[in-house]
Each structure stands twice: as C-alpha cells, then as structure tokens.
Structure 1
Amino acid sequence: MESLPSTVLQIILQHLLYDEHTACPTNRLDFWCLALTCKSLLNLASKKFGAHHHDRDNSLAPCILWGADKAFKHQDGGLPHSITHLVLGDKYNQPIIKGALPQSLLILTFGNEFNQMIAPDTLPDSITRLTFGVQPSTPPNLQILIYGINGSLFNQPLQSGSLPRSLRDLSLGDMYSHAISPGLLPNSMTRLALGRHFDRKLDDRALPHSLISLELGQNYHHAASLPSTIPALESLVLYECNASNIQKLPPVTSLKIWHDLSSAITLPDTLTWLTLPHMYNNPNFSTQLAHIRSLAVLEFGNSFDQPINPGSLPSSLTSIHLGYQFNHMIIHGTLPSSLKSLEFSDRFNQCIAPGVLPMSLTKLTMGFLFEQTLEPGALPSSLLELRFGTYSKYRQPFVAGTLPPSLKHLSLGSNYSEPIVSGALPDSLTYLKLSWQRTFLVCLPASIRNLLADSPEPVVISEMAIAQSHIQWMLSHVPSVITFQVNIQLGLFGNMSFQYLLRRIDQSHALWISRACPSTRQRFIILSG
C-alpha cells in the first residue's frame, strides 16, 4: 500500500466514499480501517477528514452545510479548497460571487428559497451534480442537473444551448411549466422528470433518442399521445391525471402508474417491472397480467385488497410487494415457485401456514400490524433476510426452530420486547437490528458480526456520553460483533435522529464515526484499561 501513488489512493477514497454505485453504510468504516494499515492513506484521510463542519476549524472539511443567509468569500476562508459537497440551506438567498466556489466542488445544492441569477463562469467546471431553483449558466462537464425539487420556485424558460452536452439527468420541479422545444435537450440525456405543473405536449423531436427514463407529472394531460419514437426508452412513470386517457403504451420494460389504471388498457408485453396505481383494486387483475410472460417485479398499490388465488400471478415473478390495504390469507400454491422477495404492507395480519411460502424465497418483509405467531416450519429454509418494520407491533417470542438455519439478516421493530433466549437465533445470523433497550435482553450467537441498535425515544445525552456508557457496554458484552450501527434520538435536538457507526479494531479499541456528514472526525473508544 505504501508504494501506491497518491492518484491511486485518491481513487480508493473516491470509490469507498463517493461512488453512488458502491454506496454502503459501512464504507467509511472500511476506509478508515484501511487507512490504519497505510501511512500514506492515513495522511490523506487526515487531510480530507481533519475537521467536521460543526468544528471551529473547517479548513479541510469536504462536506459543508451552510445554513446562514449570508454571503461567503472563498479567499477569506469562508469555504475551504478541499470541499467536494456544499449544501446551502433553505434560507440562503445571496448572490454567488465569481471565485467564491472552489474548483474542488463536485456537488452543489441550493435551498428552496434561493432565487438569484447566476452569472456566467460563477460555477466551477468541477461540478457534476447541481440542485437549485433558478436557471444558471451551467458548467460544461455537468452530468446531473436537478431543477426545483423539494418545493423550489424555478420556472424560468430554458434556452437552447443552456444545458451542457454532457448532461445525463434532468429533473424539472413542480413549478416548471414551459414548453420543451426541439434541440433544447442534449443528445446525452438518459433521464427526464417533469414536475406537477408541466402540461405542455411533448414533441417527439424534442426528446433525445438516448432517453431511457421518462417521468410525467400529476397535471400532464397529453398521455393519450405519448412519444413513440424513442428507441432507447425503458422506463415510464405516470402520475394522477394522465393515465385515464391512454390509448397505447410504448414497449417499455418498467412501468409505474401512481393513480388509476383503466381495465381497457393493454399493458406492454415487454414489461419486467410493473408498479400498479394506488387506487387500483381490480378483482380481475390476473386478466391484465396474463399476457406478460417476462414480468419479474410486481408492486400492488395501497388500495389493492383482493384475494389472490392459485394461478393468478405470473409464474415468472421474482418479487412481489402487496400494498397497504391487503389483508387476505395466502393459501398453498398462490405464490410462484420462482419468488425470491415478498413484502407485506401495514394491514396484513394473517397466519402463515407451513408450506405457503415457496422454497425459493430469500427475503421476507412484514408490515406494521402483523403480530401472528410464526410456527416452526412457516419460514422456508431458503430464507436469508427477515424484516419487521421500525414500529412493527410484532412481539411474539422466538423459539428454537422458528427462524430457519439459513437466516443471515434479522430486523426487529422498536416495540419488540420479548427476551431472545439461547438457541432462538440461528448460528447463520450475521446481522441483527433491534431496539437499543433490547440489547440487554438478547442472547447473541457467536456468528453475529453486524448489530444495529435503534433508540425509539429521545435520550438527552451527549455524543461522548453515549460512547462511554451504552456503546462501551455493548462492545464489551457482545465480543463477536465487529460492526455496529447505532441510531440515537438526542432529546437536545428534538426528534432528530443521528446514526453512528462503530468498528471493533481489537478487543481493546473501537473506531467511532458519525454518518451525518462525510467530514465527521473519527474517534477511538477504549474498551479496557
């Protein structure tokens, strides 16, 4: 590691911490542990993460939340040279001065009330993701541009040539209502999302042939004539007012309709992913799905509450999500033998008999109201992951044989109050999530390597008090656990929840960091004198 050039070390840092394709809650712990084995990487880490944005000295912080409504001056120390992420709070509404933003900046986010013109060359060319509410002069290598999300007021007409040729992703917010003319969108575009107030008919010539995903807002009333000349289009999202008058859907592989779906509409037989509308409750749903031979993912909306009979679901399904209202018993032969993931929503509270769940199932999620006893044999031996919601009412005790010997991941809700006795958790388990207070009632198998503890009620304690009391106790009493994720609601901050990550280094030391910001300073906890 010591012989690697600094460029390679920078790539390692970028891959672990900022790559959206490899994002993982424990990536930063992995990075710090790796840095401890290499002096060069540790020096780089110290420069990158030497200060937190809440600390007095933020000269090296890569992530900054600027909450005040006052201008900053880069040359006067307002922003450090090393930052890669800058979030300007909702109250920020100051002009951006040329030279104020450093060339290291990758991601810039403006708050909802920002409404200032941005002069040419004000934004650094290094920016790859930009979120804001008014039309800017965009950097030439911009890759992701999001206008007007989260209630911002952007409604300025876009001009031809104002978007960079490298732009891939454009989301126009709720207020945007201007026509999109041919030549406005660059040929590099792969995703376009139009907001609530957009109701201009889309010209086929205005949409680039490279477009893969198209999202139409709630008030788009021209869905009857959807563009049909986009050869690469794979994903289509339709909202409330635009699905009732559809004549023909393009041959997409992913379709999401959020309000209602007429039984007269023929769904494309090319679909592999289908999200049915919230209001959809058609008792003849199997008729609309029968011709789709390759459907893999099926998500029912919240209003769906029809019994599902054997043979009514496509045999190709690998994932099923049942909506909020669904509360019917599942009988033998209902679920396809290819099913790998099954998710019940909040109202489901039916007994699951042994043999009902297929032997192919690897992930099962139960809803808020489920509180039926799971008999030994009800869960298939193929199951790897079992999740109960954060506020699940499930409080049934686990006995030996309830959980299959294949299970690796178990998430229990904050209301679970039963002691977990020896032998109830299988030796295959490597990840466990449970309430903070319940960690005292658990007999953990030696296989556990990851533990996530939630605090459902606010606790008025400081970070270091947490480290020196509860976390130190847990580290000492569950020696097999390597990685901890701890969610704490601090009473001093209202209902705000903070997540901390810990990694055991050895039997005497643990690494402690916060997930709140990438620039959080790491700390070490000493477990024994």
Structure 2
Amino acid sequence: LLSSLETLSFGFQFDQPLSQCSIPHSVKHLTLSSDFDQIINKGDLPSSLERLVFGYSFNTPLNEGSIPSSVTSITFSNCFNQPLTKGLIPQSVKILKLGEFFNQPLFEGSIPPSVEIINFGKYFNQPLSPGILPSSVVELTFLGQFNQPLEARSIPHSVEILAFSDNFNQPLKPGDIPPYVKTLIFGYHFNQPLKPGDIPHSTETITLGYGFTQPLIQGSIPPSVTTIIFSNKKTQKLSLKAIPSTAKVMTF
C-alpha cells in the first residue's frame, strides 16, 4: 500500500487478520469491509488514524488499546454487540455511532468524557442512570427500541440536540429533559401529556410524532420555542391556543 495513502476502504469480502504496519501510518480514514470480523490487537491500526468505520459483520470483542488514541470518530455497524468496558473507547473520540444490534448495559466510564455526539442504534434499550453518559455530549440520538424511564441527569445537562426513538413513550417531569436543549424530537409512539416545565425554556424547535394526540395545555410549550413540527394534523388543531404566538407551526 502507498505510504502516502490517507483514506482506505477494504472490499466487501476482506476478512484477514491485521498486523502491525499492514496499514500505512499515513492513513487517517479507515473503513473495514462488511465481512471483516477479526481480533484487533494494540498496534494493528496506525497511530495516524482519525476516523474508523467497522463493517456490517464485525462483532469481535475489543481490548484496551485496540483503537488508537488518535481516533476522533468511530462507527460500529449492524452486528456489533460487545460490552464497552472503561478504556476501550479512547479519550480522543468525539463522535460515537453504535450499530443496529448494540444493546449492552453501559456503566460510568464506558463512554469517555471527550464524546460530543452519540447515536444509539435500533435495538438499544438499556437504562441510563445519571453519570453514565458524559457531560461532554451535545448531540444524543436514540433510534428504534429505546423506551426507558428518565430521571434528572440521565441525559447530561450539556445536551443541546436530543432525538428520541420511535418507541419512546415515557411520562416526563421537569428536569428529565436537560435545561440547555435547543432541538427536541419525539418519535412516532410518544403520546404523553406535556405539562408546564417538562420542556425547558432553552428549547427552540420541537417535533411531535404522528402518535402524539394529546392536546397541549397553556404553558406546556415555553416561549423560547420558535418552531413546532406536528406529524399529526388533528393534534395541531387541538393545540393552537397553547402554542406561543412567536412559534412557527409546521405539519408533515
């Protein structure tokens, strides 16, 4: 391989063990093939690496040091469902995308305090106690199955963009949604009453899914909201009086 190579993507069927120096130390972006499912030892991946994408089949346990400390973005694809113990994800990582089948319990330290963006995949549905997600996270997305009760600081106060899965349908109370959220998205099945104080006064954009049929009450949408998106036109008609006059209403 060329010693000046910066981007490397392996073909569909590549599934060979990696070894030290098999990938040039110039490579910054690495995409492993759909079939790749080999043990990665410390030093197999170059210290120049910044973005790492695992292919569809990868589901081999990682060890501390498997991923070099230069990496800032990790994407795990569909099959990965291995425990994330403290130290596996290096403290350089800012973007962490967990694949469709990932559904492992998380503990404090599983995700390092450098991570700013987290995407949980379709089948993730584990409880999140306060402190599990680091206070560095600014964008948090749940897809598919997530439907766990929230408590204060389950979601860090640092989060500004929060998107819940289609399955999420838990009652909210003041403090569950962190105080600096600007964009808040509820999925298809969310259908809980929204009370004054449930939505923080930092929120600017709210999306309510098709399943939301609760009439909004006065004060449930804070005056900070400039855009509210309804997926169900009937709900919109029931809620017009409770929407701040400054908010733009959209329906999809």
TM over 0.5: yes
2:199 aligns to what?
A: 379
CA contact (8 A) 2:137 2:158 kept: yes
Q: Whole-Å Cα distance in 2 between the matches of residues 275 and 334 of structure 1? A: 19
Considering fraction of residues, name the structure with more helix.
Answer: 1
Query: Closer, same or farther in 2 for the Cα pair 1:245/1:351, shift >3 Å?
Result: closer
1:276 aligns to what?
A: 98
Q: Whole-Å Cα distance in 2 between the matches of residues 345 and 264 of structure 1? A: 22
1:264 offset after TM fit, Å? Answer: 6.7
CA contact (8 A) 2:23 2:45 kept: no
2:120 aligns to what?
A: 300
1:235 offset after TM fit, Å? Answer: 1.2
1:416 to 227, 233, 236: 233
1:220 to 36, 58, 61: 36
Q: Whole-Å Cα distance in 2 between the matches of residues 307 and 198 of structure 1? A: 36
Residue identity opposite 1:424 in structure 2: A
Q: Note if 1:350 corresponds to 2:170.
A: yes
1:401 to 219, 223, 232: 219
Q: Whole-Å Cα distance in 1 between the matches of residues 220 and 200 of structure 2? A: 10
CA contact (8 A) 2:180 2:202 kept: yes
- TM-score, scaled relative to structure 1: 0.42
Superposed CA offset, 1:220-272 (max 9, x none): 134525743352x2111113433415441122111111222433762212111
Aligned pairs for 1:22-41 (under 5 A) are: none
Aligned length: 243
1:320 aligns to what?
A: 140
Residue identity opposite 1:407 in structure 2: V
Dislocated runs of 4+, deviation >6 Å: none
1:421 offset after TM fit, Å? Answer: 5.6
Secondary structure in 1 matching 2:242: coil
Query: Closer, same or farther in 2 for the Cα pair 1:345/1:393, shift >3 Å?
Result: same
Q: Whole-Å Cα distance in 2 between the matches of residues 316 and 386 of structure 1? A: 22
Kindly name which structure, 1 or 2, has the bigger radius of gyration based on alpha carbons.
1
1:370 offset after TM fit, Å? Answer: 0.6
Q: Whole-Å Cα distance in 2 between the matches of residues 332 and 421 of structure 1? A: 27
Q: Note if 1:238 corresponds to 2:60.
A: no
2:74 to 242, 245, 255: 255
1:396 offset after TM fit, Å? Answer: 1.7
1:371 offset after TM fit, Å? Answer: 0.9
Query: Closer, same or farther in 2 for the Cα pair 1:223/1:411, shift >3 Å?
Result: farther
Q: Whole-Å Cα distance in 2 between the matches of residues 242 and 327 of structure 1? A: 26
Unaligned runs of 5+ in 2: none
Q: Note if 1:229 corresponds to 2:51.
A: no
Superposed CA offset, 1:114-167 (max 9, x none): xxxxxxxxxxxxxxxxxxxxxxxxxxxxxxxxxxxxxxxxxxxxxxxxxxxxxx
1:425 to 235, 243, 246: 243
CA contact (8 A) 2:151 2:175 kept: no
Secondary structure in 2 matching 1:241: coil
CA contact (8 A) 1:354 1:378 kept: yes
Query: Closer, same or farther in 2 for the Cα pair 1:317/1:379, shift >3 Å?
Result: same
What value does the CA root-mean-square deviation take over the aligned residues? 2.6
Secondary structure in 2 matching 1:417: helix
Identity, % of aligned pairs?
28
Query: Closer, same or farther in 2 for the Cα pair 1:205/1:316, shift >3 Å?
Result: same
1:299 offset after TM fit, Å? Answer: 2.0
Q: Whole-Å Cα distance in 2 between the matches of residues 388 and 198 of structure 1? A: 43
